[in-house]
Amino acid sequence: MSDIQTDKKRLFDILLKDAFAKGKFILSSGKESNYYLDARKVTLTPEGAYLSAKIILGMAKDKNVDAIGGPTLGADPMVGAVASLSFEQGNPVNSFIIRKAPKAHGKQQQIEGPLLKKGAKVILIDDVATTGKAFVQSIEVMKKEGFELDGCICLVDRKEGATEAVEALGCTLSAVFDIAEFLNA
């Protein structure tokens, strides 16, 4: 088994044990679901953050991007881990966080992080994608600010329209895991 396969298996096992639950849940979309995956219970742990970052950097390694970031709150722990691990690996990648709305004070920024030049090539990341709403909003913000998107990566795709929503904006969505892997485990 390769390193990436070993890392993915370990991350899957941790997500299944610590973040996946069956029951009745209301999602942010307002829809009811008979399962829930709270990935932050894993991405906010040292091992979960490390594995997520390592896998994301592996998926992005051939893309030559200027920065990796995503929407708050799902992307927050992974973004910091990606920046740290990329530095440790000798190929530093800047990171950023996208607020739900611009700050009402200061520079009134919606994108937080190192100053990126217009046209910078970026990848968006998030923990779980359902309808793709967070990715769609993030893509719109990044495009409006003049950045070039080189795809989106999520840990888990719930397969409820995120791929199609992202593709409708000219982007691709890659997932580390498909929700069926958790439902069938």
Tens of pLDDT, residue by residue over 111-120, are: 999 978 899 9
Number of domains in the chain: 1
Q: What per-residue confidence (pLDDT) applies to 1?
A: 65
Residue 109: other Cβ atoms inside 10 A: 12
* Domain presence at residue 65: yes
Its pTM stands at 0.95
Is residue 19 domain-resident?
Answer: no
Q: Give me Rg for the CA atoms of the chain.
A: 16
Containing structural domain, residue 98? 52-178
Whether 31 is covered by a domain: the verdict is no
Answer yes or no: is 133 within a domain: yes
Region 115-139: what's the mean pLDDT? 95
Alpha-carbon gap, residue 25 to 141, rounded angstroms: 29
pLDDT digits (tens, 9 = 90+) for 64-107: 999 999 999 999 999 999 999 999 999 999 999 999 998 878 88
- Does a structural domain hold residue 63? yes
Coil, helix or strand at residue 109: coil
Angle at 183 between CA 180 and CA 185, to 5 degrees: 105
First to last CA, the chain: 20
**Mean pLDDT computed over every residue of the chain:** 95
- Residue 80 within any structural domain of the chain: yes
> The CATH number of the domain where 117 resides is what?
3.40.50.2020
pLDDT at 34 over 90: yes
Tokens 């359902």 -> residue: 130
The answer to whether position 33 is within a domain reads no
Has residue 183 been placed in a domain?
Answer: no
